[in-house]
Structure formats: C-alpha cells, structure tokens
Amino acid sequence: ARRLKRWVFFTDLEAVHEDGSVQEFEPADPSGIFDREALLDVRKHVNRLPDDFRVPLVMLAVEGLTIPEIAAILEIPQGTVKSRIFYARKRLKEKLKSKRKKR
C-alpha cells in the first residue's frame, strides 16, 4: 500500500477513495484521468529533466525504490535524493502547467 500511495503522489494516475482503497489507472480505459497525449507529455518532460533530477525520480516513481535504496545505489545522501526528487516534481508541475495554459 505504501508504494501505491507514493505512485499516486507522483502521477495522480490512480484514484484513492475515502475508504483508502485504490483504483488503478488502466491505460486502455477511456474514462482514465489522462489521455494518451497527456501521458506522452509527462514522459517527454521527464526525459528532458537533467540526469541529477530524472534518475532519482524514475527510480522512485517507476521502479518503486525507497529513498534509502536510491541513496545507496547513487552513493549520495538521502537528503540529496529527497531534494532532487522535490525539484524534479516541481519542474514537471511548472512545465505541465505552462503547457495547459497555452492550450
């Protein structure tokens, strides 16, 4: 359950109901929150992040690793991992917001 909550926090691709149950996003489901184009936009912006931000973010959100695991693999302090993930998310939010405003 903890990993699902982290994934929801990062992508908002899953709906968390009041009772705590999680409805997973199905890419083929037309009632999904994001359409295919939006998912491709997210992927494009993630790929454009500097390696220092992109790598820890992908390790956390996609691979499901914990902060201590990421820190050990990258051989950097846990605080640095947290900071890089924070700034990666912040940059993604800014890019996606500006794209929405242009539409």
pLDDT tens-place string over residues 5-63 = 444 444 444 444 555 555 554 545 555 555 777 788 888 999 999 999 999 999 999 99
Residue 38 belongs to a domain with what CATH number? 1.10.10.10
Cα 50 to the center of its chain, rounded Å:
15
Range of the domain at 46: 2-102
pLDDT tens-place string over residues 69-94 = 999 999 999 999 999 999 999 999 99
User: Looking at the 3D structure of the chain, how many domains does it have?
Assistant: 1
For residue 20, is it left (φ>0), alpha (ψ between -120 and 50) or beta? left
Q: Check whether 2 has a pLDDT greater than 70.
A: no
Token pair 């998912």 is at which residue? 39
The predicted structure's pLDDT at residue 1? 41
Q: Check whether 100 has a pLDDT greater than 60.
A: yes
What pTM was computed for the model?
Answer: 0.63
* CB-based burial label for 32 (10 Å; 0-12, 13-18, 19+): middle
